[in-house]
Amino acid sequence: MDNVKEILNKFYNTYEEERRFDKSNHNKLEFITTIKYIEKYLKREDKILEIGAGTGAYSLHYAENGYDVTAVELIEENIRKLKQGIKENMPITVHQGNAVDLSFLKDDSFDITLVLGPMYHLFTKEEQEKAIQEAIRVTKKGGYIYFAYITNDAVILRCLLMENKLLEYKDKHDANFKLMNSPEEIFNLFLVKDFEKMMEATNTICLHEVATDGIAQAMQIYIDKLSEEEFEEWIKYHLATCERKDLIGYSSHVLHICQKK
């Protein structure tokens, strides 16, 4: 894990994570969709935990709207930027911590738990399962947990095809084009069926599997040219189709939403 942390520190020290959702139309879609699904279950009195809060896009959004928020983040640079965004009297607590060990948080403490980043950077099944179990442990019975992950085929489409790296990565995937995951590649990738299977063994009920940005990354040159009115229409299309099983696999980000039994 120390090696992974070093790699991630180097990456996030130069990557503008705080601008990820506002750069263009195609970047906004993930945030818009995730917020819609959080607010499907969020109640005014709920306590929110965000594990892997990054620079605080979601934590700051909800704290600014008066929700009791606890944010946990591993990377120092992200924590620095997150704290810069905290305004006076915002009800938010920030901890530096690792998704695989939340021992400083009590069992059954939160109504809504967001795990919108850690699954991107956990490269062993043991760590993935530990992070999932920790998120479930600290969530109240009947509470809701949101796990985001990156899909294998969106990376094949976007990075290997669009960035002309198909031959460069010839030896980095199996015969079925499942890419090998390693810390040096920064991001861990899942097939939708594999993530669903991993969650079947947990004390949760799956409520939704959501393509949070759909084909937006692959079609960004078209989506970014849309006028404000046209983009609003695209959002309607996206939200109407983002749970269709036949469309989920090419979404760059997928959101697994479950309820603790």
Backbone angles phi, psi at 181, to 5 degrees: -95, 130
Tell me the three state secondary structure of residue 77.
Answer: helix
Tell me the CB-side half-sphere exposure of residue 226, using CA atoms within 13 A: 18
Domain regions of the chain by residue span: 2-260
From the list 109, 114, 93, the residue with the least C-alpha distance to 35 is: 114
Predicted confidence pLDDT, tens digits, the chain (261 residues): 557 777 777 777 766 666 677 778 888 999 999 999 999 999 999 999 999 999 999 999 999 999 999 999 999 999 999 999 999 999 999 999 999 999 999 999 999 999 999 999 998 999 999 999 999 999 999 999 999 999 999 888 877 888 888 888 888 888 888 888 877 667 889 999 999 999 999 999 999 999 999 999 889 899 999 999 999 999 999 999 999 999 998 899 999 999 999
* Joined tokens for residue 3: 């090696």
CA dist 75 and 221 (Å) reads: 32
Q: What is the pTM of this model?
A: 0.93
Q: Are 207 and 140 in contact (CB under 8 A)?
A: no
Task: Residue 195: count other Cβ atoms within 10 Å of its Cβ.
Answer: 19
CA angle 36, 39, 45 (to 5 degrees): 165
pLDDT of residue 1: 57
Tell me what pLDDT residue 16 has.
66
Check whether domain 2-260 has CATH 2.40.50.100, yes or no: no
Whole-number pLDDT of residue 89: 92
Angle at which helix 76-84 crosses helix 2-12, to 10 degrees, equals 50
